[in-house]
Every structure is written in structure tokens, then in C-alpha cells.
């Protein structure tokens, strides 16, 4: 009897939720990407019958059957063979009692439509992952679990990792490419990276399980097939354990790449001086002084921040670093991204992002949302008896550092009780004002903006407040107030104008 009691106690402990693993982590969906080849067939079998480490905090553990879901993407590239792969996966999933979703994607047509230069492999891979993400999101919603807790599981092996290492080396790459296939990227996990293709095939043979073969895997016109059949045999003849050795190397490179990426991200935050949609500006002098290892990564991250789809090569990053070292000039980058150095800053901008805006009337009091990020507000305040209006305006200006100003309402043509309106529009060519502090002398707005070190590409987005559509300038927002509307000792009502971030 005591042994029976111990057995039941063990069973209860086995089904307890592991310490530190959220409850939703035990209910979240696990999408198995299965093509029907030996590796993905082994993935399905192991997920259904054995233990796998899907990086959910439990280590190697059984995955609850109700969490599993098979995804097969038919690329429609191989006619009847592709249809038979689809049917094979459907029947295999049914045999193990796992739901199966089939998606059909015209990869050849998609590659042609996006101008992929015949790289059907890349388009197919992107299509598979896109379908996996959609399915994982839908299943998470059905289960009522966070999307981040879902797992998308692929059948990449140690052989795939070694082949990808050589493929990236042949193309030319940096540490990230030589890290090859990571064990995890966000929700995508690869629990078979420590196993070889041969080991998985032997496991399937021992269980009497067949799999599908893809004839294109032997076509050495494809780079992966070339590496698999032409490169790897030569390397393995010299070192039979090269696959395991490269896996260790990839782990080391991946860890170091992660560390350097974090260091570069911190440096980017420190160097960032301006940021808007489609644009960022970095301190060029400090970037020049940074270690080149970090500087390269900072530039790469900054470009991808502006244009996430940019396909960067080492030469693009180096051209930007040469530009920064010279202290002036510009260079064009992929996907219509422009990099230029002005006023000691490196501006990285997507073409057309400097922009402008349509002029508008600002009611007083009132506010206008200019775009997704800026709100211009106006209000009136009466100076209390005995208060010093000049001192109040000076203190206000110091506190808001140019983002908000106090002006003489009457001098702005605003009624001190009923209010009025002011015209706001971008600066125009040849326009002048009398900047505060210049004792009534006039100055071109273009010269004023140049002195403020605002790049020409950004000047169209600078709001200029005027008494009316053709009236005198009241305030070049964030730059300078006009002398003629400054608060004086005779001011009784002040007009506050403020530019701030709009609430989304």
C-alpha cells in the first residue's frame, strides 16, 4: 500500500503547473510547421509522443495534445507532388489526433508580383511564416491567451544550421548572418537544432514511419542544395564532426551578437537627438568617436528604424560612416532612404518624410491637431493686479524652452475678452519678421531657420503663426517670437501659444 500512495503522489506532482510558468503558458497554442519531409515529420511525431523544449520555461516536457496544431503550406510549385504532400500531412496529423490547417499560396505568382528577382525560396519562406503568424494569432484569440505566449515550432536541424552558416558566408554577411539559425526568435522556436537529419531519419525508420521527399532538394541550382551536396561532403571529409562544431560556433556567435545588439541599442538611444515618423537624427560627432563595431550597428539600427524593410549590405553602412567622418554631404540608401550630415547631426530620412502641412486657422481660445504627433493650443489669461507681466513671460519662456510662449494678446490682434483667430502655415519664401532681441531689426525666416540649424528638408513642417493669412509673423514655433508682440509692462491680457505632443 505505501508504494501505491507514493505512485499517486508522483502522478499528482507530474501534473502540477511548473513553478514560474504562467497558467496561460500551459494553454497557449503550439503551431507545428510541417512540410511532410523527414525533419518536419519527426517534429510532429516527437511533439505528439515525446518531450520537446519549446522555450516556455518548462525545459524538455510533454506538450498537451490540445495545444498542438499542425500547419502545412502548399506552395503550388510542384503540381501533383505538392498535393500529395498536403494529403500526407493531413493524414499524419489525423493519425496522431492533432488538428491540421492547410494553406495554399501561389508562391510563383507572388514572387513575380513583388519583383523578387526569381528568388522563389525567400518568398516561400516569408509566406510560410506569415501564415504561421496568422494561425497562431487566431488560435490565441480562441484560447483567450496572449499572442506572445504562443509558439511557432519549426523542424530546423543541426544540418540546416551548418548549411545556413555556409550559405550566408558565401553571400557575405556579418556576425548576425554567421550566427545562422537562432534557437528562438520571438515566438518561433527550433527544438531540433541539436539533432541531425540522419538521427531523425533513423528514429522514423525504427518506428516504421515514412516521409515525403522533395526532388528540388537535390537541385544544386539552389544555393542550399549546392551547399548540402557539394560543400558539406567536402568539409565533412576533413572533419566528420563539423556539423556539431558549427552548431557550437553558431551558439557563441549568437550570444555575442545579442550582446552587441543590446550595446548598440543603448548607444542609439544616447545619440538620438530628433525623431519623427520616417526620420531620425543622431549626434554625428559622438558617432564618429564611437568604436566602429558599435557605430556600424548604430547606423544599421537607425536606418531600419526609419525603413524596416530596407535590405542593407555592409557597403551601405560603410558609406554612411564615411559620410559622418567627412562631416558633410549625403548618400542615397536602399528603398529611398537618404542619409546626410547637417549642423553636426546625421539625418536619416525616408524620401518625402520632411513634408509640409496645410495652413489652418487657430481659434482663440482653442486647439488644432496638426498631425498624429503635434497639437497647437491657444488660451487667454488676464494679468492680476500687482503682477509683473514681463517677469511672468520670461519665467514661462524659461520653463517651456520654446515649446510655449506668452504674447501680448492686443498686439496679436486678439480681442482680450472674445478672442479671435490666428493663421498657421509653413514659412514662405522671402518672408520676414522682427525677431525678439534684435531691437526691431527684420530678418528673413530662411536665415532665422538656418541659424536655428533646422535642415532644409524639415523647414516645411515648422509652423509659423501669423495675425492673418497675409499678416505679420507672431511666432515661428519653437524658434523665435516677434519683437512687436512681446509682453510689456502695459500688457493686461496674455495669449499663451503651446505646441505639444498629441494624445493618440
**pLDDT band per the 50, 70, 90 thresholds, residue 350:** confident
Q: Are strands 68-74 and 100-104 parallel, antiparallel or unpaired?
A: parallel
Q: In which band, very low, low, confident or very high, does the pLDDT at 229 lie, cut at 50, 70 and 90?
A: very high
Please report whether residue 165 resides in a domain: yes
Residue 247 lies in a domain: no
Residue 140 lies in a domain: yes
When pLDDT is cut at 50, 70 and 90, the band that residue 5 belongs to is very low
pLDDT at 140 over 60: yes
What value does the mean pLDDT of the chain take?
87
pLDDT of residue 10: 33
Binning pLDDT at 50, 70 and 90, where does residue 353 land? low
Reported confidence tier of residue 25, pLDDT bands at 50, 70, 90: low
pLDDT at residue 446 is higher than 60: yes
Residue predicted with more confidence, 395 or 217: 395
407 with 461, same domain?
A: yes
pLDDT score of 219 more than 50: yes
Helix, strand, or coil here: 330?
strand
Query: 43-57, 112-126, 417-431 — which one is most confidently predicted on average?
Result: 43-57
Does the residue 141 lie in any domain?
yes
Question: Does the residue 245 lie in any domain?
Answer: no
Predicted local confidence at residue 447, as pLDDT: 87
Quick one: pLDDT at residue 3? 38
Same domain, 112 and 172: yes
- Are both 114 and 64 inside the same structural domain? yes
Is residue 187 included in any domain, yes or no? Answer: yes
Total domains in the fold of the chain = 3
The reported pLDDT for the residue numbered 22 is 57
Each as own residue / partner, the long-range contacts of residues 331-340 (CB below 8 Å, 24 or more positions apart, any chain) are: 333/303, 334/307, 334/310, 335/307, 335/309, 335/310, 335/311, 336/307, 337/303, 337/306, 337/307, 337/310, 339/303, 340/455
Q: Are residues 133 and 201 in the same domain?
A: yes
Output the pLDDT for position 354.
54
Please tell me the predicted confidence (pLDDT) of residue 135. 97
**For residue 4, is pLDDT > 50?**
no
Mean per-residue pLDDT for 465-491? 92
Residue predicted with more confidence, 86 or 357:
86
Pairing type for strands 151-153 and 188-189 reads parallel
Domain that holds residue 376: 360-501
Each as own residue / partner, the long-range contacts of residues 389-396 (CB below 8 Å, 24 or more positions apart, any chain) are 389/487, 389/488, 389/489, 389/491, 389/492, 389/494, 390/487, 390/488, 390/489, 390/491, 392/487, 392/494, 393/486, 393/487, 393/494, 396/496
Query: Residue 257 belongs to a domain with what CATH number?
Result: 1.20.59.20
Q: Is residue 114 very low, low, confident or very high in pLDDT (cuts 50, 70, 90)?
A: low
Which of 19-33, 262-276, 318-332, 339-353 comes out lowest in average pLDDT?
A: 19-33
In a domain, 439, yes or no: yes
- pLDDT confidence of residue 372: 56
Give the pLDDT band (50/70/90) at residue 90.
Answer: very high
In terms of pLDDT, which residue wins out, 110 or 316? 316
Confidence band for 390, pLDDT divided at 50, 70 and 90: very high
Q: Is residue 2 part of a domain?
A: no
Tell which of 306, 331, 350 closes a domain. Answer: 350
pLDDT at 78: 84
> Is 328 in the same domain as 438?
no
> Tell me, what's the pLDDT at 88?
96
Look at the pTM and tell me if it is higher than 0.85.
no
Residues 208, 270 within the same domain:
no
Q: How far apart are CA 405 and CA 377, in angstroms?
A: 11
- Judgement on whether residues 399 and 320 belong to the same structural domain of the protein: no
Residues 80 and 36 grouped into a single domain: yes
Of 323, 350, 377, the one marking the end of a domain is: 350
Q: Which pLDDT belongs to residue 147? A: 93
Check residue 23 and give its pLDDT: 59
Query: Of the residues 350, 384, 414, which one is the last residue of a structural domain?
Result: 350
Handedness of CA 347, 349, 352, 355 (dihedral sign): negative
Residue 24 binned pLDDT confidence (cut-offs 50, 70, 90): low
What percent of the chain has pLDDT above 90?
A: 60
Q: pLDDT at position 494, please?
A: 93
Residue 195 clears pLDDT 80, i.e. is over it: yes
Q: Are residues 323 and 367 in the same domain?
A: no
Q: How far is the C-alpha of 331 from the C-alpha of 339, rounded, in Å? A: 5
| Same domain, yes or no: 401 and 473 | yes
- Average of per-residue pLDDT across 80-92: 94
The values of phi and psi at residue 316, to 5°, are -65, -45
- Shared domain for 333 and 394, answered yes or no, is no
* CATH at 221: 3.40.50.620
Same domain, 398 and 274: no
Element (H, E) at 101: strand 100-104
| Per-residue pLDDT, 453 | 78
Checking if the pLDDT of 251 tops 80, the result is yes
Query: What is the average per-residue pLDDT within 5-33?
Result: 57
pLDDT at 335 over 80: no
Please state the rounded mean pLDDT for residues 221-240: 92
User: How large is the average pLDDT for residues 68-91?
Assistant: 93
Do 479 and 437 contact (CB within 8 A), yes or no? Answer: no
pLDDT score for 309: 77
Would you state the pLDDT for residue 297?
95
Confidence of residue 2 (pLDDT cuts 50, 70, 90): very low
Look at 175 and 302; give whichever has higher pLDDT.
302
Name the more confident of 290 and 373.
Answer: 290
Amino acid at each position: 500500500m505505501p508504494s501505491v500512495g507514493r505512485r499517486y503522489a508522483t502522478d499528482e506532482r507530474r501534473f502540477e503547473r511548473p513553478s514560474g510558468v504562467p497558467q496561460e503558458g500551459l494553454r497557449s497554442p503550439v503551431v507545428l510547421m510541417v512540410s511532410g519531409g523527414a525533419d518536419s515529420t519527426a517534429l510532429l511525431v516527437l511533439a505528439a509522443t515525446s518531450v520537446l523544449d519549446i522555450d516556455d520555461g518548462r525545459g524538455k516536457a510533454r506538450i498537451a495534445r490540445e495545444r498542438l496544431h499542425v500547419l502545412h503550406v502548399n506552395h503550388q510549385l510542384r503540381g501533383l507532388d505538392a498535393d500529395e504532400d498536403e494529403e500526407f500531412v493531413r493524414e499524419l496529423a489525423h493519425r496522431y489526433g492533432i488538428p491540421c490547417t492547410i494553406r495554399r499560396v501561389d508562391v510563383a505568382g507572388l514572387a513575380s508580383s513583388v519583383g523578387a528577382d526569381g528568388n522563389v525560396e525567400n518568398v516561400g519562406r516569408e509566406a510560410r511564416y506569415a501564415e504561421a503568424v496568422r494561425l497562431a494569432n487566431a488560435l490565441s484569440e480562441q484560447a483567450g491567451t496572449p499572442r506572445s505566449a504562443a509558439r511557432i515550432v519549426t523542424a530546423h536541424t543541426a544540418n540546416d544550421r551548418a548549411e545556413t552558416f555556409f550559405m550566408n558566408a558565401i553571400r557575405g554577411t556579418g556576425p548576425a548572418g554567421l550566427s545562422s539559425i537562432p534557437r528562438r526568435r520571438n515566438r518561433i522556436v527550433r527544438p531540433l537544432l541539436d539533432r541531425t537529419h540522419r538521427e531523425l531519419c533513423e528514429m522514423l525508420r525504427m518506428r516504421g514511419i515514412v516521409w515525403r521527399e522533395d526532388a528540388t532538394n537535390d537541385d544544386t541550382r539552389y544555393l542550399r542544395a549546392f551547399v548540402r551536396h557539394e560543400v558539406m561532403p567536402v568539409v565533412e571529409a576533413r572533419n566528420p564532426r563539423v556539423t556539431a562544431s558549427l552548431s557550437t560556433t553558431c551558439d557563441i556567435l549568437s550570444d555575442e551578437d545579442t550582446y552587441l545588439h543590446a550595446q548598440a541599442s543603448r548607444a542609439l538611444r544616447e545619440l538620438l537627438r530628433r525623431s519623427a515618423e520616417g526620420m531620425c537624427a543622431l549626434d554625428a560627432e559622438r558617432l564618429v568617436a564611437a568604436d566602429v563595431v558599435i557605430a556600424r550597428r548604430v547606423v544599421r539600427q537607425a536606418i531600419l528604424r526609419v525603413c524596416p524593410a530596407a535590405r542593407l549590405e555592409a557597403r551601405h553602412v560603410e558609406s554612411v560612416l564615411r559620410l559622418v567622418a567627412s562631416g558633410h554631404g549625403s548618400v542615397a540608401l536602399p528603398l529611398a532612404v537618404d542619409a546626410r550630415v547637417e549642423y553636426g547631426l546625421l539625418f536619416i530620412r525616408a524620401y518625402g518624410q520632411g513634408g509640409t502641412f496645410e495652413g489652418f486657422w487657430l481659434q482663440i481660445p482653442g486647439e488644432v491637431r496638426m498631425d498624429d504627433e503635434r497639437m497647437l493650443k491657444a488660451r487667454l489669461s488676464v494679468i492680476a493686479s500687482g503682477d509683473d507681466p514681463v517677469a511672468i513671460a520670461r519665467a514661462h519662456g524659461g520653463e517651456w524652452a520654446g515649446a510655449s510662449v506668452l504674447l501680448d494678446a492686443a498686439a496679436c490682434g486678439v480681442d482680450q475678452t472674445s478672442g479671435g483667430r490666428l493663421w498657421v502655415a509653413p514659412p514662405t519664401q522671402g518672408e520676414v519678421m522682427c525677431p525678439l532681441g534684435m531691437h526691431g531689426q527684420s530678418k528673413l525666416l530662411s536665415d532665422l531657420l538656418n541659424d536655428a540649424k533646422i535642415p532644409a528638408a524639415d523647414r516645411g513642417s515648422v509652423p509659423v503663426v501669423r495675425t492673418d493669412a497675409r499678416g505679420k509673423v507672431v511666432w515661428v514655433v519653437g524658434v523665435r517670437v516677434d519683437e512687436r508682440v512681446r509682453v510689456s509692462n502695459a500688457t493686461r491680457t496674455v495669449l499663451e501659444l503651446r505646441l505639444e505632443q498629441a494624445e493618440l
